[in-house]
Structure 1
Amino acid sequence: MCADTLETADPKYPVFLPETEFPMRAGLPQREPGWLNRWNEIGIYDRLREKAKDGTRKPFTLHDGPPYANGHLHIGHALNKILKDFIVRSQQMLGHDARYVPGWDCHGLPIEWKIEEQYRAKGLNKDDVDVVAFRQECRKFAEGWIDIQREEFKRLGVTGNWADPYLTMDYHAEAVIADEFMKFLMNGTLYQGSKPVMWSPVEKTALAEAEVEYHDHTSHMVWVRFPVVAVGVDSFAAEAGGTLVGSSVVIWTTTPWTIPQNRAVAHGHGNGIEYSVFTVTAVADGSLANVGERIIVAEKLADTVKAAAKIESWDEGRPVNGDALNSMTLAHPYRGIEGGNGEWDFDVPMLPGDHVTDDAGTGFVHTAPSHGDDDYQLGLKFGLPMTYNVEADGSYRTDLPLFGGQAIITAEGKEGPANVSNIKAMHGAGALFAKGKLKHSYPHSWRSKAPLIFRNTPQWFAAIDRKIDDGMGTYGDTIRTRALNSINQLVQFTPVSGRNRLHSMIEARPDWVLSRQRAWGVPLTCFTKRGAKPTDPDFLLRNAEVNARILAAFEAEGADVWYVQGFKEKMLSGIVNPQDYEQVFDVLDVWFDSGSTHAFVLRDRPDGSADGLADLYLEGTDQHRGWFHSSLLQACGTKGRAPYRGVLTHGFTLDEKGMKMSKSLGNTVAPQQVIDEYGADILRLWVALSDYTVDLRIGKEILKGVADSYRRLRNTMRYILGNLAGFAEAERLPVAEMPELEQWVLHRLAELDTEVRKGYAAYDFQGVFQRLFTFCTVDLSAVYFDIRKDVLYCDSPDSTRRRAARTVLDILFHRLTAWLAPILVFTMEEVWLERFPGDSSSIHLQDMPDTPKDWLNEPLAAKWAQIRQARRVVTAALEVQRTAKVIGASLEAAPVVHVEDAAMLAALKSVDFAQVCITSAIQVTADPAPNEAFRLPEVPGVAVVFETAEGEKCARCWQILPDVGSHKHPHTCARCNDALG
């Protein structure tokens, strides 16, 4: 029976209908802001901190990876912050003191770029503005977006210390960032080097790997001749009476603009690559190859080169051995070029390179030490000269012959003329062997979205393999070994695949580029000796007293003070002669800022952590090369170990088809859009229903499914609330006096208690919610509520069955609201306040209630598993009769159930099986079932013969029973007659 039908029952025979003002329609978009205001008024976060002051609760610290203070939140932000909130709330309710200090990354290029755009729109030049004034405009811009984003995060239901977040631009934060940098200065890992770094010509600054994203890009590709001018060990001459001199080594590159900077060619003979010299015998129209010329390429790639150069035929080729390659001298392709002014009239050595493969190209690698890390490393090994042909804006130096002033990448991020000019020059010089276009993945700035180049420029680096003698060598004496040992020994990864990813990145990474050529950031607080070389031992001023002065100044006035006239003199006077030193004006990589947050948040704040370590860092998978990575390197340089004990990573957000979200595709889903239509709890439930360890899909149809799951869960809570109206402690029934059905529900709760606690501890929110949702929809709604509805509506208030059921509903209420509160923060608050209204009442001030382990009863659970199996067969048999319109309701039936298994038979006979099946009567028998009996293949040994119930229909409970009409109250059964008094 159901409430809707009972409400039409005869008013002379009242039943105990559910009473609750908890609405079926949630109205979350309109009602959630009210709960947010209420939480703010009663100060829930602060009250939870007060609750922990007695020291009995173990702290749990999730350290917030700072979002960037620039722009409205996207769905990835929502996913990230909601996951963090799941963890903070669940850890708190599990008995911890779960602290959450939100923070923001405030320095860096995106904000600086926005201010520059404003200047350009007004026709102003950034360089004409006082740097302190410019930085203050950047600060003001960041402050505005922090206020906006804070409200957007709070609207998601995220709890935390919103009144006092951390900002990387706070004076204390800037002071600590500078102090952490100066620790690198003092421990000897800081150095200035001139090496190729990823460079943005548009933004005129170096970028870290974490600031780079890869997009498809169409590049010019060229095959270029390097004439052989000498061979020390000419194996070809010895064997064939000829010589390799006069042949050409052919290289392949997708960066023609780097050819002027070539200083060597690398081969991979030592890597197992075999080379041969081929003589061209026939070419097709349009080929740049010449009949009779000899070229040297890798044998494995010969056919590819032949096709690219439109060569119709060549000879079989003769092997060229390693001795010949190692002793070979080449000419630069521009040697003797008209207008070259002798710039490229030098010999080009052939060198062995470990990085050379025969996967693509020709098996030879054109080497420009100033424009690639492999090239640079080869240059270091063999003493190759560096070049300085490319300026900060991505153009050649103006005095470079032939190409001076030409842009590689323009200020607008487009391709400049440099590539085409080089291709034309190579063709004119007879060096171009073939050309084409290649679409491939290419690095771009994640801010300007413009292509990048590798460019040699003086930068400041942290040496990650240099030994450190700082007394913190437990996990190694270099940054790299400390980082790798931390990963292997100290950090728990969720999912575990994150360990290998971060480990491989740390294992293979080069030194950390710390410097940026920008204005908005924390400066590299160091001084260099005038006239000294970077390799000189006194090049850097290392003085603790100077460092202390800088730290004090930053604490008092912030990092802007570094740019005030006379600051250098103020810092150095009385310690060293200020005129002997130059002040460095590069700013720190913002990843150093965020990597240092452990120091000014975890270490320095009262709500940080006692040991300066976080229990968890949580961000997207891209942060293995971002914040996880930089925090690890930074802390290993200054703390000697990782700043975190746990790392959790989540995937990216995609649309419903699995496509990356893009404004141009029109498939983005904004958090506010979802909140306005469904409410924040639906967005939170989407996160809980998803496997965050992989990429997550979201869209209209997915959200509709989430909303449907929410409605079903909401109706479960509404049922509990309605049937608990007026429940008082005097009504509570001891567990030992409860019927088996209630004891079975308590058994399931004891099982769930363990599963929920383990799930939350393991950050398995999908598993937690799925278990709870299945319990609510299958165990409760489809079984327990269905069976006990009759008892709750029709039994007398003092009946054991009704008291037991209401006691269990109260127990369910307290556990389900607590278990679901970290996920459905608004809805569970609404459920809680429906029962316990009050000025300071909140589910979020509760812990998850203890659940007695002695509720576990495996024999009872096994018995009721059998009963439920038999019930399935009865229910299915009655559905057949209902569909055929033989009956309208199950209470019109009195089926006969034939059971073969003796244990199941005994189980069914030990309970009121008619009540379990919601029939007016039932007969259970071991007699063999007739052939026509109804059966379910998946439940063997149980068969049902349909029979109609005999007697009159009770006007109150609607059961059809023989005794109806024989009592004081007409048309009632004995139970209802007694209940009516």
Structure 2
Amino acid sequence: MCSDTVRPDDAADAPDYRDTLNLPQTEFPMRAGLPKREPGWLERWARIGVYDRLREKAEGRRPFTLHDGPPYANGHLHIGHALNKTIKDVIVRSHQMMGRDARYIPGWDCHGLPIEWKIEEQYRAKGRDKDEVPVLEFRAECRDFARHWVDVQREEFQRLGVTGNWADPYLTMDFHAERVIAEEFMKFLMNGTLYQGSKPVMWSPVEETALAEAEVEYHDKESPTIWVKFKVAEPTIFIPEARQGDAMPLVNDFELADDLEDAYVVIWTTTPWTIPSNKAVVYGKHISYGLYEVTDTPEQCWAKVGERYLLADKLAEDVFSKARLIHGDWKRLRGVGAAELEGLSLLHPLAGAENSNCEWDAPRDFRAADFVTDTEGTGFVHCAPSHGMEEYELYRDLGMLSEVITYNVMDDGAYREDLPFFGGKRILAAKAKKGDWEGDANKAVIDKLVETGGLLARGRIKHSYPHSWRSKAPVIFRNTPQWFAAIDQAVGDGQDQNGKTIRERALTCIDQVGWTPKSGRNRLHSMMENRPDWVLSRQRAWGVPLTCFVKRGAKPTDPDFLLRNKAVNARITEAFEAEGADAWYKEGAKERFLGTDADPEAYEQVFDILDVWFDSGSTHAFVLRDRADGSEDGIADVYMEGTDQHRGWFHSSLLQSVGTTGRAPYRNVITHGFTLDEKGMKMSKSIGNTVAPDDVTKQYGADILRLWVAQSDYTGEQRIGPEILKGTADSYRRLRNTLRFILGSAVDGTPEVAREEMPELEQWVLHRLAELDAEVREGYAAFDFQGVLRAVFDFATVELSAFYFDVRKDALYCDGDTPRRRAARWVLELLYQRLTTWLAPILVFTMEEVWLERNPGEGSSVHLQDFPDTPADWRNEALAEKWGKLRRARRVVTGALELQRREKVIGASLEAAPVVHVSKEIAAAMTGVDFADLCITSDVRVTTDPAPAEAFRLPEVADVAAVFEKADGTKCQRCWKVLPDVGTHSHPGTCARCDAALGAA
């Protein structure tokens, strides 16, 4: 022993070696401070022009285009917007970093009711009448309103870290966009699918316009319900083929049974206001009907003794109970078959009423219909074809629409002024009272039915009912002249590769598209299979007009009713390009557009505006097709919106595109679900359970919101709230600590180490990186961010922090310039390169911070990087299998040591030197591995001898058991291992490894 060596018992006098350790050194803070720091990174990205530099870098790459479904420019963002735009941003960024030219052009929907309604609200507050404002002035106010909110929302979206061409977004109110929307409409005009028809559509009396299905939401509504008596009339039959003028009822040879004279067919309806428009009653051929007679009545009952009613047998008892009749008050006389019903006609319950001006005196049609059931009601259905699509289609197919269509209800939901008894009565009130929109029409009709003896019973029912999603008022079905695109008529454009009609093309193209989730395909397919013709027109002022002219005096069915002239169309598109759609409303517009190609006196200009879904459905043309940064073939790689857009934007875009190009505008369609509060309840301002994106960014930062999005399964419903966000922030801190360790331990200039020169542990990390590289790329390509984040997060916080870093801290801190430490530092470099880029699409701010710690400089940014290539030969399945066994064995040892810590036998694992009993297979896996280092113990003895009964075991690791033993020796004052040789080296109180690291004394 050398004279200057120190004995173990002198270790207490050894110097403090802390300054000799290679502890992590970094300025990367543990506390992120995201709310204050994120705006600075946004300013930096704008200053160095990251998006434009990416376009330059990506020149020549295969383009990838996510086409933005446009939000309405009419208010601050809600949490659904944040979810939507974050998902899109992750898609775009990840595909860019996987080697594509990933373009993103944000857009806004600027036309239609959402904005027009806001301007009208402002008018009402000031006591102004919208109808008295010049249309161009009104449209200018709508344009200014939309422009303001585009600017507000643009800043709010950018605050979330969303990248894109924010300097040049697309707006449906831009002049070029309005030109293309009109141009796309005129393709329907020219290809023969545009027609004017009169049919029931969903109508908002409050907003005085037709609504699309996508503009409607369903809420519970309490409605009056009535049972009404239609008297059996003299036998008649309706023969459409034989009718002349209005002489529809013809006397039939059918002889009315005696017991049916003066009997009543009873109907049930939840819309009493439609009774004045009744034109027929229908029944089901296969329903069992009976003739019932009232034998007794209590007080306050509208039924009368001796009255006979025709009712479905399954529903008769329920009907009588609603009429306040009990068993013994009525009896069934006999069954009535469909053949007997065929010969009947009926009288309206208001027929012959005094002062009715014979409005309802004509007999009502009575026939079978497939849609009648005996599941509720009476088994008979009252038909007002002007207010119900099934009834409308029934009489349309019979060729009898002219006999059954009425025009009793005006735009504002009031009856026409000259309608007897009910003129001017309103279905809905002009303004809701405490959420109740009920007008006076239902009451007036019910009261009149009581007066004339036409009512059998009344009640109230709570049911799901369509409401306008803007005004929140109920809607009605109302027959009005509208413009339609026929979806079952051959499209005369020669683009028949996917079918001849719009419906055929849409159904074919749906199966050419990738759907995430897969259920989206079935949903849209079912909608397309069953949808009616597309209602294109709206009776409003703010939007793109239906740029067409109709011939005065011509009928919609006449071949020359619509003017189809290419020169006229060209003048319209030229004017719209220069002046926008306002050109349609300027003085002399008709003469200007018709020119010398048509006589202005012979034609009328149409002033309805296009359904706003036609606007957004046309965006593929003026964004994907027309813009230099659009798509090379005019087709988007991805459309991504909420699941409600199966009946909205996905739907209208497909209809519009197949109608004008013959193919779908997208290759992939991705949907996300709705966001609920922590308890799974729908968010509502009135309940106070909303979560505003601005509030989250101010408290936590946008990266926490983005992390919440990536952690969620966006294809279903997501939940968010204070506790969920707190948990997300905790996950973020764990990940941040992993990154901080890497930054502190991997320094610039770390030399590369060849894989074959690395210890097995480092080679195992490379194997895991190779596995993850494939998993990350596949996940991002499949839009599975939750899977990507879970894989990377678990790797970073479990496999790295809790295993690899835990094991290698000793070598990194205490080794000198050893091959082991050099390999570990090079692996940290490789981890840094991959973790920062893999997570950059999700945690855009944090990964930029991490990147700049190692790569400072004005033009530096992680978002200018691609995912680094990972060599295939890093994969080593045999090594991974071996280290899987070692990690299982390690779990048994750490479990045994944890028990000793709890019992305060030891304070740290380095005080232990356990005996580990293993199978021969596990022992073979330990060959060449320092298992003590792996278990973070000072020593370990491995044996294949049978384990004693008291040994610690884990049920899931059957071939490993551990017996605790204390380490023999003295604690090294530098690395804290307990070893026999401590104090026998030149540096006091050190072990051989630390003595060598310290060098010559």
Q: Do Structure 1 and Structure 2 share a fold, with TM-score over 0.5?
A: yes
Cα displacement (A) at 1:239: 13
> 1:40 aligned to 29, 39, 46, which one?
46
Q: Give the equivalent residue in structure 2 for 1:212.
A: 216
1:311 and 1:502, CA in 2 relative to 1: closer, same or farther beyond 3 A?
same
> 1:69 aligned to 52, 67, 73, which one?
73
Aligned residues of 2:67 and 2:104 also touching (Cα < 8 A): yes
Instruction: Give 1:648-667 correspondences, 5 Å limit.
Output: 648-667=670-689
Q: Give the equivalent residue in structure 1 for 2:242.
A: none
> 1:312 aligned to 314, 322, 326, which one?
326
Inter-partner Cα distance in structure 2 for 1:65 and 1:455: 30
Instruction: Give 1:88-237 correspondences, 5 Å limit.
Output: 88-231=92-235
Aligned residues of 2:17 and 2:973 also touching (Cα < 8 A): no
> 2:728 aligned to 706, 717, 721, which one?
706
Instruction: Give 1:428-439 correspondences, 5 Å limit.
Output: 428-439=451-462
Inter-partner Cα distance in structure 1 for 2:592 and 2:158: 44
> 1:279 aligned to 264, 284, 293, which one?
293
Aligned residues of 2:951 and 2:963 also touching (Cα < 8 A): yes
The letter for the 2-side match of 1:750 is A
The letter for the 2-side match of 1:979 is A
Q: Which moved more, 1:399-408 or 1:294-303?
A: 294-303
> 1:256 aligned to 272, 283, 286, which one?
272
Cα displacement (A) at 1:240: 12
The letter for the 2-side match of 1:832 is W
> 1:392 aligned to 400, 408, 411, which one?
411
Moved over 6 A (4+): 237-241
Instruction: Give 1:555-704 correspondences, 5 Å limit.
Output: 555-704=577-726
Cα displacement (A) at 1:171: 0.2
Inter-partner Cα distance in structure 2 for 1:792 and 1:12: 14
Structure 1: gaps (5+ residues):
1-7
Q: Deviations over 1:661-691 (max 9, x none)?
A: 0000000000001110010000001111111
Cα displacement (A) at 1:241: 6.9
Aligned residues of 2:234 and 2:256 also touching (Cα < 8 A): no
Percent sequence identity is 68
Q: Give the equivalent residue in structure 2 for 1:780.
A: 800
Structure 2: gaps (5+ residues):
1-13, 238-252
Q: Deviations over 1:202-244 (max 9, x none)?
A: 11111111101111100000011111113469xxx99997332
Q: Secondary structure in 2 aligned to 1:781?
A: helix
The letter for the 1-side match of 2:753 is L
Number of equivalenced pairs: 962
1:827 and 1:748, CA in 2 relative to 1: closer, same or farther beyond 3 A?
same
Q: Secondary structure in 2 aligned to 1:575?
A: coil
Aligned residues of 2:15 and 2:988 also touching (Cα < 8 A): no
Q: Secondary structure in 2 aligned to 1:100?
A: strand
Q: Secondary structure in 2 aligned to 1:648?
A: strand
Aligned residues of 2:541 and 2:608 also touching (Cα < 8 A): yes
Q: Give the equivalent residue in structure 1 for 2:476.
A: 453
Inter-partner Cα distance in structure 2 for 1:390 and 1:960: 94
Q: Secondary structure in 2 aligned to 1:461?
A: strand
Inter-partner Cα distance in structure 1 for 2:357 and 2:211: 34
Q: Deviations over 1:362-402 (max 9, x none)?
A: 11111001111111112213304210111111100000000
Q: Deviations over 1:452-471 (max 9, x none)?
A: 11111111111111111211
The letter for the 1-side match of 2:320 is K
> 1:361 aligned to 377, 402, 405, which one?
377
TM-score, scaled relative to structure 2: 0.95
1:750 aligns with 2:750: no
Aligned residues of 1:713 and 1:777 also touching (Cα < 8 A): yes
Cα displacement (A) at 1:934: 1.4
Instruction: Give 1:879-898 correspondences, 5 Å limit.
Output: 879-898=898-917
Inter-partner Cα distance in structure 1 for 2:474 and 2:694: 32
1:812 and 1:875, CA in 2 relative to 1: closer, same or farther beyond 3 A?
same
Output the aligned Cα RMSD: 1.5
Inter-partner Cα distance in structure 2 for 1:811 and 1:614: 35
Q: Deviations over 1:174-211 (max 9, x none)?
A: 00000000000001111111111111111111111110
Aligned residues of 2:235 and 2:256 also touching (Cα < 8 A): no
Structure of greater relative contact order (alpha carbons < 8 Å, 6+ residues apart)? 2
Aligned residues of 1:284 and 1:312 also touching (Cα < 8 A): no
The letter for the 1-side match of 2:813 is Y
> 2:28 aligned to 9, 17, 22, which one?
22
Cα displacement (A) at 1:280: 2.1
> 1:973 aligned to 986, 991, 995, which one?
991
1:859 aligns with 2:878: yes
Cα displacement (A) at 1:293: 1.5
Cα displacement (A) at 1:173: 0.2
Q: Deviations over 1:768-808 (max 9, x none)?
A: 10111111121111110000000000001x20110110111
1:518 aligns with 2:540: yes
Cα displacement (A) at 1:286: 2.9
Aligned residues of 2:235 and 2:255 also touching (Cα < 8 A): no
Q: Give the equivalent residue in structure 2 for 1:504.
A: 526
Q: Deviations over 1:597-645 (max 9, x none)?
A: 0000000000011111111110001101100011111111101111111
Aligned residues of 1:909 and 1:924 also touching (Cα < 8 A): no
Instruction: Give 1:870-881 correspondences, 5 Å limit.
Output: 870-881=889-900
Q: Which moved more, 1:309-318 or 1:211-220?
A: 309-318
1:159 and 1:238, CA in 2 relative to 1: closer, same or farther beyond 3 A?
closer
Q: Give the equivalent residue in structure 2 for 1:404.
A: 423
Q: Secondary structure in 1 aligned to 2:295?
A: strand
Q: Give the equivalent residue in structure 2 for 1:299.
A: 313
Aligned residues of 2:983 and 2:989 also touching (Cα < 8 A): yes
Q: Give the equivalent residue in structure 1 for 2:9.
A: none
Q: Give the equivalent residue in structure 1 for 2:246.
A: none
The letter for the 1-side match of 2:605 is Q
Aligned residues of 1:742 and 1:808 also touching (Cα < 8 A): yes
Q: Give the equivalent residue in structure 1 for 2:393.
A: 377
Q: Deviations over 1:530-581 (max 9, x none)?
A: 1111111111100000000000000011000110110110111211111111
Instruction: Give 1:453-532 correspondences, 5 Å limit.
Output: 453-488=476-511, 490-532=512-554
Q: Secondary structure in 1 aligned to 2:207?
A: coil
Aligned residues of 2:226 and 2:457 also touching (Cα < 8 A): yes
Instruction: Give 1:532-551 correspondences, 5 Å limit.
Output: 532-551=554-573
Q: Deviations over 1:863-918 (max 9, x none)?
A: 1111111111110111111111111000000111111x211012124310000000
The letter for the 2-side match of 1:98 is A
Aligned residues of 1:13 and 1:955 also touching (Cα < 8 A): no
1:101 and 1:12, CA in 2 relative to 1: closer, same or farther beyond 3 A?
closer
Cα displacement (A) at 1:294: 1.3
Q: Secondary structure in 2 aligned to 1:350?
A: strand
Inter-partner Cα distance in structure 1 for 2:271 and 2:174: 43
1:951 aligns with 2:957: no
